[in-house]
With several copies, the nearest count.
Chain A
Amino acid sequence: MMGAATPATAALTLRVGEFEGPLDLLLHLCRTSEIDLAHLPVRTITDQYLAHLEAMEFQDLEMAGAYLVMAATLVYLKSRLLVPPDETEEQLDDEAQAVREELEERLREYARVKALGGWLAAREAEQARIWGRPASELPLPDDIPLEDLSVHLLERALARLIDEQRRRRPREVAPEPLSVLERMTEILAVLRDTWSLLFSSLLGAEPRRPEVVVTLLAILELARLGHLRAQQTELFGEIVLERRNGKEDAGGADAH
């Protein structure tokens, strides 16, 4: 019976961790008592809320504060109930009634968010049942799609640099010709999916000289690092590139 001021003792054993916050607790109390979120019974819900609060142990001061602020709101509402108390139809003065309505609205809002969260969880579980192609080691997971850029990434990059400077670890100066690096990435990505290919297929229909040079450098570097094997069966013949089934293969298995 929802008029009962003492909540079920079983519910009291709930730990703080089971609630996301005061709204979650309030919603839980409403649900277990089958309370209409549009007609919050102030007296009942306040008593139940306070009883739960007493049984809770907080480790996080801020979280405790959030629960206490809600408690204060409820106690305020309860104190503004007009006498004589009417169990079925609680009356509040206009000011308090506004607070109650706002609280009810927030509760309904939270209920919606919670439902959506549940929907997303189900969706996530569903997605866990399908497999795409394994994420390649390349492009590196660090590579950000342009549309997902976010300033926190810049912030972190700078913080990392500053941190490095603080630790006074002078960086070694090394050449980093990015286009070769990029081309290496591209070639490896293609080789992952096709195993072997012809050198000529790496170039466009009308390759420009710098493109050929960069591609050649990329291949030499990849061969040096043991990622691929380049073979030319006849003089001036086509160069055949083959992915090497080396350690990077073994590493790829648990890279995702």
Chain B
Amino acid sequence: MPMPTDVVEALLFATDTPLEAERIREVLDLAGVDEARALVDELRARYDVEGRALAIVEVGGGYRMVTRPDYAPWLMRLARTRTRQRLSRPALETLAIIAYRQPVSRPEVDAVRGVNSDGVLESLLERRLIRIAGRKEAPGRPFLYETTREFLVAFGLRDLDDLPRVEGELVIPETATAGVADGQAQVEQGPGPGGPDVAAGR
């Protein structure tokens, strides 16, 4: 009969997305999530003591089995091409704004960046690093954006608290008063909810 930690090992091996403690609990029929966490911790400690190629990391609200960074040179030689492209600077900056101020609307993102963010938001949505979280209770009812779990995984973050603290608060300037944003950040007022601004550019 397999030991519970070994079952956890099998489960972690068999998932390519982070495995939540709750799902471990469910699959192993454990009484509580804490028990599941304890099993992972035990396995993780074992991996760390042995100091081999694999490690267990906590990311995006779950656990993942990954190779340690020291092995990158050989894995790169294995030429498992990574189709995932690096994000551009505008994309990273937009992501930073959303990560800190979520949920946040496009006009607000525009105001911080001083430029239109339509295209960037679109590609971040496409890569599922952000999602639409609803609409803002403001004129034009613009969409609100927030980061996804995929975002946490892509950047190796356990949760949003893993983001570094920034000196001072990130302040989103009022779009109406922001000189630069005038004229471009202003949402074209649609006749009703779901107005033309939403349909634009699709």
Contact = CB atoms under 8 A, between A and B. Distances in A.
Q: Do chains A and B touch in the complex (CB under 8 A)?
A: yes
Interface stretch (A85-93, A162-170, A224-232): A162-170
A182 interface: yes
A165 B170 contact: yes
A70 interface: yes
A58 interface: no
B67 A23 contact: no
A124 B13 contact: no
A209 interface: no
6 contacts: A149-B155, A178-B119, A178-B120, A193-B14, A194-B67, A204-B77
Q: In which size bucket is the chain B interface?
A: 35 or more
Interface string A149-185: 1111111011111110110001111111111111001
B15 A134 contact: yes
A66 B88 CA distance: 20
A21 B115 contact: yes
Contacts of A239: none
Interface in A106-152: 106, 108-110, 112-121, 123-136, 139-140, 142-152
Given A176-B119, A177-B119, A159 B167 contact: yes
Nearest to B169: A162
Given A106-B180, A159-B167, A194-B14, 19 more contacts: A20-B93, A20-B113, A20-B115, A22-B115, A23-B180, A69-B182, A73-B179, A106-B114, A119-B96, A124-B154, A143-B87, A148-B150, A158-B99, A162-B166, A171-B113, A173-B115, A178-B119, A190-B72, A201-B69
Contact of A63 (B66, B115, B118): B115
Q: Main SS of chain A's interface residues?
A: helix
Contact of A152 (B60, B125, B150): B125
Given A120-B95, A128-B82, A66 B87 contact: no
A62 B117 CA distance: 11
B132 A254 contact: no
B122 to A, nearest CB: 7
B149 interface: yes
B15 A150 contact: no
A253 interface: yes
Given A162-B166, A177-B118, A192 B16 contact: yes
A202 interface: yes
A159 B202 contact: yes
A194 B113 contact: no
A174 B116 contact: yes
A69 B183 contact: yes
With a 10 A CB-CB cut-off, give which of B79, B85, B162 has the most chain A CB atoms. B79
A66 B170 contact: no
With a 10 A CB-CB cut-off, give which of B18, B85, B114, B125 has the most chain A CB atoms. B114
A46 B168 CA distance: 26
A115 to B, nearest CB: 7
With a 10 A CB-CB cut-off, give which of B81, B113, B132 has the most chain A CB atoms. B113
Given A66-B180, A178-B120, A134 B14 contact: yes
Nearest to A142: B89
